[in-house]
Amino acid sequence: MLDIKYLRQNIGLVGKKMNQRGQSIDFDRFLGLDIKRRDILLAVETLRNERNDASKKIGELKKKKADASALIAEMSEVSEKIKGLDENLKLTEEELNNFMLMIPNIQHESVPIGQGSEDNPILRSWGEKPVFSFEPKAHWDIGENLNILDFTRGAKIAGARFTLYRGAAASLERALINFMLDLHTGEHGYTEVLTPFIVNRESMIGTGQLPKFAEDLFKIEGMDYFLIPTAEVPVTNIFRDEILDEKQLPIHYVAYSPCFRSEAGSYGKDTRGLIRQHQFNKVEMVKFTKPENSYDELEKLTANAEEVLKRLGIHHRTVSLCTADLGFSSAKTYDVEVWMPGQNVYREISSCSNFEDFQARRASIRYRQEESGKVEFVHTLNGSGLAVGRTVVAILENYQQADGSVLIPKVLQPYMRGVDKLLSPKA
């Protein structure tokens, strides 16, 4: 959510920024609601003030056993007026609030202006595309040939976009989760948290999934609960409605969680393989920082995500999302894209964002400045470290061998009881 005072005073600038993101906002409606709200507020507060004064007098009169009936009758009328105005105010505030909740964040000045993902500049690249003496296969073929990924059975059990892992694939997924958590907690200074995977509506509003993107979420029928689409939601909401001490910042959390996404609107897209699933595992890093440090922290966060792929020895590159490609809540986002030789494409495997105070304002996460005593919104950031299913894909495709086997990167072998090569359970 944007700061309403800022919006009021910088309508033109915000409009321009929104246009760069391919959004347009009905600012006349905003200004109308904003003025209406303040008008009603002023009127109702004036009446309340009058009533508060009169009520005090009534109390005094009654104490003196004097007659207060005239004043009481008068205030009875005032109260009726207040009631009417209050109702009006509530409706107006609701409307204004809903309006504010639908406005995306303002992008940072360093965000490149563009029309789509093709305009995302490549900032850096690590490693090389592997060279194969044979035609590299896509992971769905590798996984099925090895009998470790079972898309048919996954679909039978649940439906399209669900996969059954068997044997070494299941073990690899688990190894990756532990490897990533150990790296981020042991070397990058994050504290591990394990959260609920179901959250309430307030949490979804806090991080920006609601109210605008309800169709992307799985909702529990008959209850106001949602399956999390990312650990970002429960982790960021840990401090919702709290005022932190400046001393506590920065806070760095890392969490494993499954992620559930309805993938509404992506029918027919990435239907094969593990790329786009209704349920996938992810290790997520979340930071709470002071405003002045958040962009430094974003660089570090992104480097932490890249480090996972470096340790795994997989070629990847990092892009800066342009204005058109930026997510709703984000002020700036870096995507880490991993090379998938079996599909001959780069795939997003991590998305690292600085939300500045956008989520903090929605979720009311603040901190008290030690020197001035002032209360200020924190900045929140998060990034995948990494999407686990897609990492499995990257390993299968990048480390596949001519005989159909797949080598296991060295750093993972201790997590796989020393296994260095995936072989078919049948073999």
Partner RNA sequence: GGAGAGAUGGCUGAGUGGUCGAAAGCGAUCGCCUGCUAAGCGAUUGUACGCCCCUAAAAGGUGUACCGCGGGUUCAAAUCCCGCUCUCUCCGCCA
Q: What are the residues binding RNA (CB under 7 A)?
A: 4-5, 9, 38, 41-42, 45-46, 48-49, 51-56, 58-59, 62, 72, 75-76, 78-79, 83, 90, 243, 366, 368, 373-375
Catalytic residue among 51, 161, 347, 390, which? 390
Pick between residue 60 and residue 296 the one whose CB is nearest to RNA.
60
Catalytic residue among 351, 353, 356, 384, which? 351
Q: Is the peptide bond before 386 cis (omega within 30 degrees of 0)?
A: yes
Q: For the chain, what is the largest distance between any 2 Cα atoms, rounded to a whole number of angstroms?
A: 104
Pick between residue 89 and residue 177 the one whose CB is nearest to RNA.
89
In angstroms, give the least distance from the CB of 252 to RNA.
Answer: 23
Catalytic residue among 276, 307, 311, 368, which? 276
In angstroms, give the least distance from the CB of 365 to RNA.
Answer: 12
Which residues, in sequence order, are bridge partners of residue 281? 258
Catalytic residue among 348, 364, 376, 405, which? 348
In angstroms, give the least distance from the CB of 37 to RNA.
Answer: 7
Which residues, in sequence order, are bridge partners of residue 375? 368
In angstroms, give the least distance from the CB of 220 to RNA.
Answer: 13
Pick between residue 4 and residue 407 the one whose CB is nearest to RNA.
4
Place of tokens 């020393």: 418
Q: Is 174 a catalytic residue?
A: no
Pick between residue 193 and residue 244 the one whose CB is nearest to RNA.
244
In angstroms, give the least distance from the CB of 62 to RNA.
Answer: 5
Q: Is 261 a catalytic residue?
A: yes
* HEC profile of the chain: CCCHHHHHHCHHHHHHHHHHCCCCCCHHHHHHHHHHHHHHHHHHHHHHHHHHHHHHHHHHHHHCCCCCHHHHHHHHHHHHHHHHHHHHHHHHHHHHHHHHHCCCCCCCCCCCCCCCHHHCCEEEEECCCCCCCCCCCCHHHHHHHCCCEEHHHHHHHCCCCCCEECCHHHHHHHHHHHHHHHHHHHCCCCEEECCCCEEEHHHHHHHCCCCCCHHHCCECCCCCEEECCCCHHHHHHHHCCEEEEHHHCCEEEEEEEEEECCCCCCCCCCCCCCCCCCEEEEEEEEEEECHHHHHHHHHHHHHHHHHHHHHHCCCEEEEECCCCCCCCCCCEEEEEEEEECCCCEEEEEEEEEECCCHHHHHHCEEEECCCCCCEEECEEEEEEEEEHHHHHHHHHHHCECCCCCEECCHHHHHHHCCCCEECCCCC
In angstroms, give the least distance from the CB of 246 to RNA.
Answer: 12
Pick between residue 40 and residue 305 the one whose CB is nearest to RNA.
40
Pick between residue 374 and residue 410 the one whose CB is nearest to RNA.
374
In angstroms, give the least distance from the CB of 27 to RNA.
Answer: 16
Catalytic residue among 21, 51, 161, 261, which? 261
Pick between residue 29 and residue 38 the one whose CB is nearest to RNA.
38
Q: Is 348 a catalytic residue?
A: yes
For the annotated catalytic residues, the residue numbers are: 261, 276, 348, 351, 390
